[in-house]
């Protein structure tokens, strides 16, 4: 099989969990596509059903939730992160968040429908699908534990280290909310 960039990115994604067989890669590859987004392009709108899994190969995205008529930053994805939106992948459920790209971004994507069909047809795919969901849920859990168990000063430092590009693009109010602190406290610590 031709070793395209998309093929290499797909293989690298699956290899995070275990080395995929050539057979599995041949089965999946026709369903995977590369896509480019510009800043402010939407991946998922509130009320839509998320219909695909995306690996960000360049750029970054954010999830926003409306709280008391204000748009609040609730999740971030950077290069190398997988956007799966687990609640929609597990059950047909409308999204309660808006997922938007913050900068020019490229992804490789596969539809949830194709992913589920591949999972049913190939037992090897089940393990990967389970890992994708587990990682998404673990990322949310880790973020909550980090917010609760890390001092405010360290959260600001960690945020800047982990999201270098995205940190330059986000307004301070959004960063403060994501870090679970007031804007005034964030401005004092940065």
The residue among 16, 4, 51, 11 whose CA lies nearest residue 28 is 11
Q: What is the pLDDT of residue 90?
A: 56
- Name the percent of the chain lying above pLDDT 90: 67
What is the CA angle 22-24-25, rounded to 5? 65
Q: Which one-letter DSSP state was computed for residue 30?
A: G
Residue 51's nearest CA partner among 96, 84, 99 is: 84
* Average pLDDT of the segment spanning 97-114: 94
CB 178 within 8 A of CB 76: yes
pLDDT at 89: 53
Which of 95, 90, 139 shows the shortest CA–CA distance to 119? 90
Residue pair 100/38 in contact (Cβ under 8 Å)? The answer is: no
- Element (H or E) spanning 28, and its range? helix 22-28
Mean pLDDT of the chain, nearest integer = 90
Residue 121 has pLDDT above 60, yes or no: yes
Residue 1 confidence (pLDDT) above 80: no
Whose CA is closest to 120, among 111, 109, 129? 129
pLDDT at 92 over 80: no
Say if CB 159 and CB 175 are below 8 A apart: yes
Percent of the chain with pLDDT over 70: 95
Query: Given a cut of 90, is residue 88 above it in pLDDT?
Result: no
């Amino acid at each position: 099989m031709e070793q395209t960039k998309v093929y290499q990115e797909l293989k690298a994604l699956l290899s995070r969990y275990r080395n995929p067989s050539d057979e599995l890669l041949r089965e999946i590859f026709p369903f995977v596509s590369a896509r480019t987004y510009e800043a402010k392009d939407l991946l998922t709108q509130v009320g839509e059903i998320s219909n695909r899994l995306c690996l960000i190969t360049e750029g970054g995205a954010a999830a926003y939730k409306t709280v008391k008529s204000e748009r609040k930053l609730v999740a971030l994805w950077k290069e190398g992160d997988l956007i799966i939106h687990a609640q929609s992948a597990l059950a047909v459920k409308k999204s309660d968040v808006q997922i938007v790209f913050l900068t020019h971004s490229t992804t490789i994507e596969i539809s949830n429908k194709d992913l589920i069909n591949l999972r049913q047809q190939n037992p090897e795919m089940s393990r990967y699908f389970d890992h994708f969901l587990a990682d998404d849920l673990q990322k949310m859990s880790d973020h909550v534990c980090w917010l609760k168990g890390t001092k405010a000063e360290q959260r600001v430092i960690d945020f800047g280290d982990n999201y270098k590009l995205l940190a330059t693009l986000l307004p301070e109010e959004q960063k403060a909310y994501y870090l679970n602190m007031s804007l005034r406290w964030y401005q004092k610590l940065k």
